[in-house]
């Protein structure tokens, strides 16, 4: 019985460490940037910069003269136009474990989306949310515009 308890504790420890490590993994990186843009990461706002890592939970914003391009770990590409705001609600890319998903929420502005590996291997795991609709991504590329209320 004592060995069983120790094994259970070890399993919970391994799961906890793996979950923590996954939360620290970047979802993607900023590959292009023009004009004003910022990232809200864990309630801290920073100016966006080329090469900056993007994480699950981050909010990306562009100013009136801003545009920004992100490449995700699975080769998904998202480009934001001026006065845009998007949230990376969920991002998991662990194809070896069969665990993949990307869920983004567009608050306002314009976006061009080009799907990557997640959409090819697990199309039901890709969602793009807007204030009025949720899109399931089945194709490879789309453009969206969300008007501010």
Owning domain of residue 81:
2-146
User: What average pLDDT does the segment 26-47 reach?
Assistant: 96
Structure confidence by residue, pLDDT tens digits, 107-144: 999 999 999 999 999 988 999 888 876 666 656 787 77
- How much is the pLDDT for 145? 79
- How much is the pLDDT for 80? 97
Structure confidence by residue, pLDDT tens digits, 55-95: 999 999 999 999 999 999 999 999 999 999 999 999 999 99
- How much is the pLDDT for 7? 43
At residue 15 the predicted structure's pLDDT band, cuts being 50, 70 and 90, is: very low
Whether the per-residue pLDDT at 17 is higher than 60: the answer is no
- 48-56 own/partner pairs: CB under 8 Å, 24+ apart: 53/26, 53/28, 53/29, 54/26, 54/27, 54/28, 54/29, 54/30, 54/88, 55/24, 55/25, 55/26, 55/27, 55/88, 55/91, 56/23, 56/27, 56/88, 56/89, 56/90, 56/91, 56/92
User: What average pLDDT does the segment 41-52 reach?
Assistant: 96
In this predicted model, which residue has the larger pLDDT, 102 or 20?
Answer: 102
At residue 5 the predicted structure's pLDDT band, cuts being 50, 70 and 90, is: very low
- How much is the pLDDT for 4? 45
Q: How many domains does the chain have?
A: 1
């Amino acid at each position: 019985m004592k060995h069983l308890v120790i094994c259970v504790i070890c399993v919970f420890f391994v799961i906890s460490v793996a979950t923590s490590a996954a939360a620290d993994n970047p979802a993607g990186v900023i590959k292009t940037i023009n004009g004003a843009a910022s990232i809200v990461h864990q309630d801290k706002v920073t100016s966006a910069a080329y090469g900056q890592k993007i994480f699950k939970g981050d909010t990306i914003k562009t100013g009136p003269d801003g545009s920004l391009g992100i490449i995700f770990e699975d080769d998904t590409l998202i480009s934001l136009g001026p006065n845009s705001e998007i949230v990376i609600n969920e991002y998991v890319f662990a194809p070896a474990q069969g665990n993949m998903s990307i869920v983004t929420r567009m608050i306002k502005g314009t976006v061009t989306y080009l799907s990557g590996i997640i959409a090819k291997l697990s199309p039901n795991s890709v969602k793009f949310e807007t204030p009025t609709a949720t899109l399931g991504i089945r194709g490879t590329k789309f453009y969206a515009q969300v008007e501010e209320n």
